[in-house]
Each structure stands twice: as C-alpha cells, then as structure tokens.
Structure 1
Amino acid sequence: MTNPWQGPAEPPPARRSFSPGRLWAAGAGTAVVVALVVVVGVIVIRLFVKSDLLAPVDSGSYGDGSTTSYALAAAGAALAATALLHVLLLAMPSPLRFFSWIVGLLTAAATLLPFTFGGSFGHMLAVAAINLVVGLAILTILPSSL
C-alpha cells in the first residue's frame, strides 16, 4: 500500500555531463586571460596615471617582477577555480550555482582586500579594480565552457 502523503516518487536529478579535457583546456585559457588582465591593468595604470603601482615609476610601464608575480597568482587562481568546478561537477546537485556563489564571494573578498593594507587610496583602488575584473573573468569564462 502506498502512502497518500508522499505523492509520486520523483526521479533523481540527471547528472550534468561534461568533458574534463575541455574543462581543463578552458581553465588553461582562463588562466592566460586573467594573467593578461593583470598585465594590461598594471600597464594602463602605470602608463596613464603615472603611478608607482607595484614598482617605482622609473621601472617603466610594466614595472618589475611584482607584476609577473601578480599575473602568475591570478593564473593560479583560475586553475584553482577550474579544480573547484571539476569537483563540484562531480559531486554537487547544482554545481554551477555553488561555483557562482563561491567565486563571487572570493571575488568580493579579493576586491576588498587591498583596502586592508597600507598605501595610497589610488593604489588600493587600482588593485581592487584589477582583482574585480580577474574575478569576473573567471566567473564568466569557466562556466560558459561547459
């Protein structure tokens, strides 16, 4: 005898199929994009604002190794986001929703983080803007690759 309070049994939600190779290729592409976002952002700020962002003004438009480290850190964040998305796709019922929330909150934190350090407000604002664009790039590019 069936329980009248339960109603019909619903089938389990279908698993989202994805290609891990394509996901990681998209992750590598995203890593390149966000590294370039950092480099272009630093160059624009140093060139047009004549700022000593990440290096003394006489270091040129690119700056120095700090710019490279910043770009590599952004690329690493994109690869970490790819790993996160891969795990969520394998284990979670609504992986893209969880991914969006996690990356969105991490982007908010990365955008606010520069304001917790010392330095000029202009430098803090510039780094916050670059971090925001990096986070938005990760948030939009990776899920669209599925």
Structure 2
Amino acid sequence: MTDPRYNYDPQYPHQGQPQYSQGQGQYSQGQYPQGPGEPPEPKINVGKLWAGGIGTAVVAALLVVVAIMLVRGVLGIAILSPEGAGAYGTVSTTSYAIAGAAAALLATALLMVLLLAMPSPLTFFTWICLLVTAVAVILPFTLVADLDAKIATAAINLLVGLAITTMLSSVGSAAQYPARQPGY
C-alpha cells in the first residue's frame, strides 16, 4: 500500500496540500498552522539554564574563597577580619562566598526573565550585570577601611562580577532553542 500523499491523481490536483477556507489567504513561507491545543514552543531550556546557574553559583563562591585566601595569606592584606584570623579569615569569608553564590542565582533568575520576555535578552543581561558589578566595585570605597583592603575588596567584586556575567551569558546563549528557519 502506498502513501496517498505521494500519488498524483489528476482528478484531485490539490490532494495532500493544505486546504484554505474562503477569505483565509495562504500561509507564507515558513509559517505552519498550529493545531488546536498545541502549546507554543518554549524559547529556552529551563533545565540547562538553571544547571548552568547553579554551576556559576558554585564557581562564584569558590572564587571568593580563593581570592580572599590569596589576598590574606599571600599578600598579607587584612580584609573582612583582623590580621590574626589566618588566611581564611572568619565567618565573614563564608558569608561573602554565600553572597557571591546568591548573586549568581539572582542573575540566573534575571536571565530567565529576560530570555522569556525581552528582545536581545543577552545584551540587556550583560549591561545590567556590568552596571551591578560597577556598583559592587565602587561600594568598598564608600566604607571605612584601609585603602589596600578597599582595593582588594573592589578587585574581588570585579572578578566575581565578571565571572558571573561571562559565564551566565554563555549559559543563556546555550539554553536558547534555535529559531525555526523559514522553509524547514
């Protein structure tokens, strides 16, 4: 038995082609009618996006810990706790690392909203993250501390902000479904 769509019958020249009711017009190239009850295709892979966001949060937290250990242990600059607290410092280091991870998760939530609702979402995401990073870099200079501690904290904030921005921008582009090409 053969597929009737591939059999040409001169009596029925439009067999296998979409039928249009009067006044509907024709489909343009690349457009396909959506069946009743079919949900629209999602624009993003949410699982991939949040997996990348969690990975970014872990990297941000570890980056804070490594940077503080470098600044305190190798450079001898006391940030977040007194000099005698050792290379790790105190619970302030843990709080700072958790704050870095939380910033990455908040940025992931922002990225998801932008991917769902905005044109050019990665451009907006990059700009927002860079401006928040600029605030985080400037903030230590408004506090009362030694200048070297301010500079070290600003450098750590810059490093973590850039890591979150670049990693999540890559995750956002990987989590997007490619747009359907006309004619496919």
**2:68 paired with 1:42:** yes
Consecutive unaligned residues in structure 1, runs of 5 or more: 1-14
Query: Which TM-score applies when normalising by structure 1?
Result: 0.87
TM-score normalized with structure 2 length: 0.69
Root-mean-square deviation (CA, aligned residues, Å) is: 1.6
Alignment-derived partner of residue 125 in structure 1: 151
Q: How many residues align?
A: 133
Q: Which residue of 1 aligns with 2:96?
A: 70
Paired residue for 1:58? 84
- Contiguous gaps of at least 5 residues in structure 2: 1-40, 175-184
Which residue of 1 is the match for residue 35 of structure 2? none
1:85 touches 1:95 (CA, 8 Å); kept in 2? yes
Cα deviations by residue, 1:36-89 (Å, 9 ceiling, x for unpaired) = 111011000111122221112221110010000000001000000000000000
Correspondence for 2:122 among 77, 90, 96: 96
Q: Which of 39, 46, 54 does residue 28 from structure 1 map onto?
A: 54
Distance 1:127 1:134 in 2: 11
* In structure 1, C-alpha distance between the alignment counterparts of 2:78 and 2:158, rounded to whole Å: 20
For the Cα contact (< 8 Å) 1:16–1:89, is it kept in 2? Answer: no
Q: In terms of Rg, which structure is larger?
A: 2
Find 2:135's aligned residue among 101, 109, 113.
Answer: 109
Report the Cα offset of residue 111 of structure 1. Answer: 0.6
Letter in 2 for 1:116: T
Percent identical residues: 55
